Structure 1
Amino acid sequence: AAYQALADAGVRAINNSWGSQPKDVSYETLDGLHAAYAQHYGRSTWLDAAAGVSRQGVINVFSAGNSGYANASVRSALPYFQPDLEGHWLAVSGLDQQNGQRYNRCGIAKYWCITTPGRLINSTMPGGGYANKSGTSMAAPHATGALALVMQRYPYLNNEQALQVLLTTATQLDGTPTGAPTDTVGWGVPDLGRAMHGPGQLLGRFEANLPAGLRDEWSNPISDSALLQRQ
């Protein structure tokens, strides 16, 4: 009901961070991910509610987890199991203060994963005030906020298209534009400067329907590196 209420209110992106995985779950291997997903399979959970609004067009942003596994959590990797969610799902890994990747890596979620600051982030606290906290729960809001700015820049794009702009204009940790996502950081770090100049890749059919009288200019080079990687 909560997810649907947000969708009904016109919310375009939902930031999600719901604690650590059970102690008997590991995301280090695909077998571990499959075992974790099996706990959800065949019964309705809150994750189905999140998936339901993504099928209506809402972007769900999920923290990847903090255990240092080779893969993002089963929640943030859900499009691997339910492919129709890709395009409306974003996994977020984290960086430390030296710009190094920490926490769970993107892994199997790399095609819908980015990496943002997650170490010693000054954040609001329950009951009031601020404190420095670390983890992908700190990283995910950076990604959700960046996505909101892209949506604001392109009011004529739908949610999936705005997410595609954010992903395909990200850079790797050395600052170079991402050609194809990596298992470690996915698409890399959001580059809002590049994102203001259109997508960096077209991952499928992309129709920009500008209203009458509105003009825009995209100037980023367009590659097909990610599409070639997935062949």
Structure 2
Amino acid sequence: YVRGEPRGPLRKSQAEISPKGDCVDCSLCVQVCPTGIDIRNGIQMECVNCTACIDACDEVMLKVDRPKGLIRYASENSIQKGVQKLMTTRVKAYSLVLIVLILGFVSLIATREDLEATVTRFPGMTYQMRDNGTVSNLYQITLINKTFQEQSVNLQSLSEDVSVELVGTSNLVLQPQSKVEGRFFLVKNQTKVSVPQEKVNLSLIHEGEEIDQINTSFMAPVAKKQ
């Protein structure tokens, strides 16, 4: 309204002497609008932000030797004062939030592990007594390979008197960018069981080096004292 009013036809030769506003009342902004609104009356609910009115108006302004931007995105403050402030408090706040998100994303990528393992007790089972006097618990392991190379890993027990028996294989082979699920038994001599449930520490081995430690629990009946 500061620059565009009053509306009226305007020739290029009259541009500098005319007291009229820059709007030549050509109605092109209304004609190109897909929702049929008159943007000269201000932003309206039907506006879909296609900016077709901006492009049409800029072409007309060039023809009548007026600066572009009669229709544009602008704040009320910038219209009244004629100064567009770029670094507002809101822009600074949004920029700070964006920087924090980018740094967080980069740190997650930089610190992520190449292999991820999850161990859970096999559902519906507690412990199994074996004929050789040992007790076993069945578990399920899920391994995720986040690298682009094939990885071979093994599972070992760090807890005393507890051994690991992988089902169907001696080690776990993961294809690049894949997930593998396997099963294994934790086995312990029943005579060495002193508590019905104890914590067990497992070590995930890759190329002879420990890459992760996993904690789980082992259940077994307590051995009777002689």
Category of TM-score, reference length = shorter chain: under 0.3
1 or 2 for the larger relative contact order (CA 8 Å, sep ≥6)? 1
| TM-score, length basis structure 1 | 0.20
Q: Which of the pair is proportionally richer in helix?
A: 1
| TM-score, length basis structure 2 | 0.21
